[in-house]
Structure 1
Amino acid sequence: MMVQYNFDEIIDRRDTGSVKWHYSDDTIPLWVADMDFKAAQPILNAIEQAAQHGILGYTKPTEALYESIIQWHGSRYDLQLDKQNILFSPGVVPSLALMINVFTEVGDAVLVNDPIYTPFMTKVEQNGRALVMSALKEFDGKYQLDLADIEAKIIEHKVKLYLLCNPHNPGGRVWTRQELEALLALCKKHDVAIVSDEIHQDLTLSGYTFTPLLTLAKGYAHKVVSLTSMTKTFNVAGIKGSMIFAKDDALIKKISQQQQLNDEYELNLFAYKVMRSAYEDGDEWLEQALNYIEANIDLTISFLEEHLPDIKIMRPEASYLIWLDCSAYAQDNQKLYDKLRDAKVELNAGVKYGAEGHLKMRLNVACPKALLREGLNRVSAAFSGDVKA
């Protein structure tokens, strides 16, 4: 029997330790990438059942869990996995750091795009590698890979590893099969390993097709790794857990050995339970959530085009994050951020994502429409006076 989820429900998250809702005032958070939606009922049931069992001891992944992961990725993305292709990790960011240590040595160059999710940059530098950035090109309202610049940077800096974000955060691009094939060919030409963060894969929006990099890696599987998780998809980021996929046996062994160094290869009891429940029974919730998110994206774009037409909007192809160019309304990054905070609405400052984020902001629309409308009113008020959505 179909469950109809209520995404309009406003759930008070203040005073819960929430990172997103940490305020002591009535600020509306449209920033960090978690949703203000209650998790799918099967997930909540799985957590409750585990707690009611009463014994919360050491736990390992079951055959049923592996099968749920294999079925989800095979049926949705034609990514054919076997149990031996799958490793577990506390999160995608720890996995990025892990991959840096698997594929490079201290001092080696690692290439990322600009703009990019902040940990791509910080983990490279914190691990003593040389950070090399290739700016994405904006064309027709969306980002494109600058393959000529990428190749030039690879040659100039003797790059050993490329960290790809697909779908892209913060720009929301779902890289096409053709773009990925061209990038893969370039990396293969110069013997550059490529690690793809695919955590937003399941949030691909209607009209777009997500292509896992590993489906294209035949003949180069010893240098290709994908990272993903159910946490963004099903709004369970507080339950840490992710997966590492690789098709080459020797590479999987090397990654596993690196994990052993820090003892970071196990998840907790609830993460295993939630992961299996999400992949077995979460598709109904996800379909409804994506429909609601797409309606919120439409609402946001319509509102901004009407009331703040000088903001340049990059419509996302995946996720619930909208990349906004606010340069018409400010000349200083800190003043832009402060102007919105003074209006009691918080967005992510674009400058945190690299130089290309100058005077840009990232807006999260995964919340009940009433909260979104009020947040948009405050954005508008900050720039042009009080306007009602």
Structure 2
Amino acid sequence: MQYNFDEIIDRRNTGSVKWHYFDDTIPLWVADMDFKAAKPILKAIEQVTQHGILGYTKPTAALYDSIIQWHSSRYGLLLDKQNILFSPGVVPSLALMMNVFTEVGDAVLVNDPIYTPFMTKVEQNGRTLVTSLLKEVDGKYQLDLADIEAKIIEHKVKLYLLCNPHNPGGRVWTTDEIEALLVLCKKHDVAVVSDEIHQDLTLSGHTFTPFLKLAEAAGYAHNVVSLTSMTKTFNVAGIKGSMIFAKDDALIKKISQRQQLNDEYELNLFAYTVMQSAYENGGEWLAQVLAYIENNIEITLDFLARHLPDIKVMRPEASYLIWLDCSAYAQDDQALYDKLRAAKVELNAGIRYGSEGHLKMRINVACPEALLREGLNRVYAAFSGGFKPKLSL
């Protein structure tokens, strides 16, 4: 089945977070795609509604099997049913892990820059936020292991929140990098929660390694949890649902007990349906959308190199998000954001991802090529003072 990702679908007036505007702004920001979901997923939803009864639902053996098969065949992560818990989303799971691994006041370490909820959930749950800046080397981020260890010792860190693949920098941490981090955390008895929601969006030439797989081999699974979801992979973020993976029985029991306190261990009927359909029949759609995204990444990098060469681009190794250093065009973060909005194009302000995001922006290229090119024209207009024709939607 061949999918048409060039189709422009009007998402205005649908309640879309991404397309909330009352004008012709091109949104290249929040992390969802402007592509229709895979036909098997849409068909599965249709079959549920045609059945007509939308009653209480629990995960089936077939759902568990689909999750187990997907992660085994793609990543060599061997799971059993008892290793899998469900959650409304990765962000709620991050908050849950504060209560699993730490107490109020304990120190939690994250990298900078990082996906914003990593920081906000730490602080909102009364923990002490500790950050370690990523180092930019040869145009990509690296973990500063010496700084991470120093921060762990100084602040008596109890929990490390890892983002792999990294958002917003797009790094897929190598096996060597993860193993080095694992050794360090094991040495200091620091628990690790690895957000791996972008794992399936790993791009050509890169290999994703589940943290839990290495932790189990190192005898540290009792202190490690992985979080993931089908929502980013298959562009179904509006259908809430994610998974928590752990390989230690006592840890699984502790997490489950915490979930029971707030009844946050169940998903809705459509989430279970979409999850199973995606993992059983979504592979063809995913392969095609990744090829389309990779072409859009090349279009973006080529456009910026030719027309805005002073923007420093961090080539992503996963996902459809590209990290841009726009410091040549502004001295103030708000002014930088406002300049782009005035040109009727919206990107994510880098400063929201930590101090390392100063004068940086995150651009989402998961959209039809025509929309992307118009958006890039507006970025050019913002920084050059020029104007480009509007794209009729």
Question: TM-score range, shorter-chain basis?
Answer: over 0.9
Q: How far does residue 371 in structure 1 lie from its aligned partner after superposition?
A: 0.2
CA distance in 2, matches of 1:385, 1:97: 43
Residue 31 of structure 1 aligns to a residue whose secondary structure is: coil
Aligned residue pairs, count = 387
Matched with 2:119 is 121
Deviations 1:24-76 (A, max 9, x none): 00000000000000000000000000011000000000000000000000000
CA contact (8 A) 1:201 1:318 kept: yes
5 Å-filtered alignment, 1:260-339, equals: 260-339=260-339
For residue 82 of structure 1, the aligned residue among 74, 80, 93 is 80
Give distance in 2, aligned partners of 1:75 and 1:387. 49
Q: Take 2:377 and 2:387, find their aligned partners in 1: how far apart are those partners?
A: 6
Q: Give the Å deviation of 1:209.
A: 0.1
How far off its partner does 1:387 sit? 7.3
Correspondence for 1:30: 28
Amino acid at match of 1:241: G
Quote the offset at 1:385 in angstroms: 3.6
| Aligned pairs (5 A) from 1:126-205 | 126-205=124-203
2:293 and 2:365 in contact (8 A); partners too: yes
Q: 1:212 to 1:137 in 2, by over 3 A?
A: same
Aligned to 2:221: 221
Say which SS state the counterpart of residue 287 (structure 2) adopts.
Answer: helix
Indicate the SS of the match to 1:19.
coil
**Corresponding residue of 1:378:** 378
SS at match of 2:108: strand
- Report the residue type matching 1:152 in the other structure: A
Aligned to 2:364: 364
Give distance in 2, aligned partners of 1:44 and 1:300: 30
- In the alignment, the residues of structure 2 paired with residue 257 and residue 368 of structure 1 have an alpha-carbon distance, to the nearest angstrom, of 44
Distance 1:382 1:216 in 2: 46
Match of 2:47 in 1: 49
Residue 61 in 1 paired to residue 62 in 2?
Answer: no
- What secondary structure does 2:194 align onto? strand
What secondary structure is seen at the aligned counterpart in 1 of 2:105? Answer: coil
Residue aligned with 1:217, SS? helix
Runs of 4+, deviation exceeding 6 Å: none
Structure 2, unmatched stretches of 5+, are none
RMSD, aligned α-carbons: 0.8
- Contact 2:41/2:282 (<8 A) preserved: yes
Asked if 1 retains the 8 angstrom alpha-carbon contact of 2:110 and 2:129, the reply is: yes
Instruction: Quote the offset at 1:104 in angstroms.
Output: 0.1
The residue identity in structure 2 corresponding to 1:350 is G
Contact 1:377–1:386, Cα closer than 8 Å, also in 2: no
Q: 1:99 Cα shift?
A: 0.6
Percent of aligned positions that are identical: 86
Unaligned segments of structure 1, at least 5 residues: none
What is the letter of the counterpart of residue 383 of structure 1?
A: F
Displacement of 1:78 after TM fit? Answer: 0.2
Residue in 2 that maps onto 1:11:
9
Shift of 1:388: 6.8
| Partner Cα separation in structure 2 for residue 321 and residue 222 of structure 1 | 33
Task: Find the residue that maps to 2:129 and give its secondary structure.
Answer: strand
The two structures have a TM-score, normalised by structure 2, of 0.98
Tell me the CA shift for residue 247 of structure 1: 0.2
Output the CA distance in 1 between the equivalents of 2:245 and 2:275: 15
Contact 2:170–2:318 (CA<8 Å) still a contact in 1? Answer: yes
Q: Report SS of the residue matched to 1:362.
A: strand
Superposed displacement of residue 386, structure 1: 3.4
Shift of 1:331: 0.2
Q: Which amino acid aligns with 1:351?
A: I
Whole-angstrom CA distance in 2 between matches of 1:156 and 1:344: 46
1:136 and 1:35 map into 2 onto residues whose CA distance is 27
Asked if the contact 1:307/1:387 (under 8 Å) is kept, the reply is no
Alpha-carbon separation, structure 2, partners of 1:214 and 1:110: 19
Deviation, structure 1 residue 350: 0.1
